[in-house]
Amino acid sequence: MLFESLLADRTRLMSANAIREILKVVARPGMISLAGGIPSPDSFPMDIIRELGDRILRKYGSSAFQYDRTEGFMPLCEALSVWLQKKGIHADSDAIRITTGSQGALLQLGMILLSKGDAVAVEAPTYLGALTAFNPFEPRYLRVDTDEDGMVPESLDRLLERERVKFIYLIPNFQNPTGRTLSGERRRTLAEIIVRRGALLVEDDPYGDLRYRGQSLPTVKSLAPDHVVYCGSLSKIFAPGLRIGYVVAPEPVRRWMVLAKQGIDLHTSTCTQALAAEYISGGFLEKHLPEIMRIYRPKQEAMLHALDRYMPKTCRWNKPDGGMFIWVEGPAGLDTEKLYRKAVERGVAFVPGKFFFTEPGEGNETMRLNYTMSDTQTLDKAVRLLAGVLSE
Query: Can residue 14 be called a binding residue for a second copy (CB under 8 A)?
Result: yes
Using CB under 8 A, pick the residue from 88, 263, 283, 312 that binds a second copy. 263
Q: Which is nearer to a second copy, 202 or 311 (CB)?
A: 202
Using CB under 8 A, pick the residue from 1, 313, 360, 377 that binds a second copy. 1
**CA-CA-CA-CA torsion for 56, 61, 64, 65, nearest 10 degrees?**
130
Pure H helices in 115-252:
128-134, 153-162, 184-197, 220-223
Q: Which is nearer to a second copy, 101 or 330 (CB)?
A: 101
Using CB under 8 A, pick the residue from 3, 313, 332, 345 that binds a second copy. 3
Angstrom CA distances, 294 to 117, 118, 197, 207, 376, stand at 45, 43, 42, 15, 13
Q: What track of x and - describes contact with a second copy for positions 266 through 295 (by CB under 8 A)? A: xxxxxxx-----------------------
Distance CA 233, CA 238 (A): 9
Query: Can residue 83 be called a binding residue for a second copy (CB under 8 A)?
Result: no
Using CB under 8 A, pick the residue from 81, 100, 189, 372 that binds a second copy. 100
Measured from the Cβ of residue 319, the count of other Cβ atoms closer than 10 Å reads 12
Residues 63-82 that bind a second copy (CB under 8 A): 63-68, 70
272-297 exposure pattern, b = at least 16 Cβ within 10 A, e = fewer? bbbbbbbbbbeebbeebbeebbeebe
Q: Which is nearer to a second copy, 156 or 304 (CB)?
A: 156
Residues 154-193 that bind a second copy (CB under 8 A): 166-167
Query: Can residue 27 be called a binding residue for a second copy (CB under 8 A)?
Result: no
Using CB under 8 A, pick the residue from 103, 175, 189, 374 that binds a second copy. 103
Return the sign of the alpha-carbon dihedral for residues 60, 64, 67, 68.
positive
Shortest gap between Cβ of 339 and a second copy (angstroms)?
A: 26
Q: Which is nearer to a second copy, 68 or 329 (CB)?
A: 68
Angstrom CA distances, 127 to 233, 289, 351, stand at 15, 24, 12
Distance CA 79, CA 273 (A): 11
Query: Can residue 374 be called a binding residue for a second copy (CB under 8 A)?
Result: no
Shortest gap between Cβ of 41 and a second copy (angstroms)?
A: 4
Q: Quick one: which segment of 46-54, 294-302, 318-326, 329-337 binds a second copy (CB under 8 A)?
A: 46-54
Instruction: Determine if the peptide bond prior to 331 is cis (ω within 30°).
Output: no
Residues 308-327 that bind a second copy (CB under 8 A): none
Residues 114-143 that bind a second copy (CB under 8 A): 114-115, 118, 129, 132-137
Nearest by Cα to 271 from 43, 70, 52, 80: 52
**8 A C-beta contact, residue 136 and residue 264:** no
Residues 188-207 that bind a second copy (CB under 8 A): 198, 200
**CA-CA-CA-CA torsion for 208, 106, 259, 61, nearest 10 degrees?**
-50
Using CB under 8 A, pick the residue from 6, 29, 215, 360 that binds a second copy. 6
Shortest gap between Cβ of 162 and a second copy (angstroms)?
A: 18
**8 A C-beta contact, residue 186 and residue 153:** yes
Instruction: Determine if the peptide bond prior to 125 is cis (ω within 30°).
Output: yes
Distance CA 65, CA 293 (A): 33
Query: Can residue 21 be called a binding residue for a second copy (CB under 8 A)?
Result: no
Distance CA 308, CA 276 (A): 40
Query: Can residue 107 be called a binding residue for a second copy (CB under 8 A)?
Result: yes
Tell me the site size for a second copy, rule CB under 8 A.
81
Query: Can residue 332 be called a binding residue for a second copy (CB under 8 A)?
Result: no
Residues 216-255 that bind a second copy (CB under 8 A): 226, 235, 239-243, 250-253
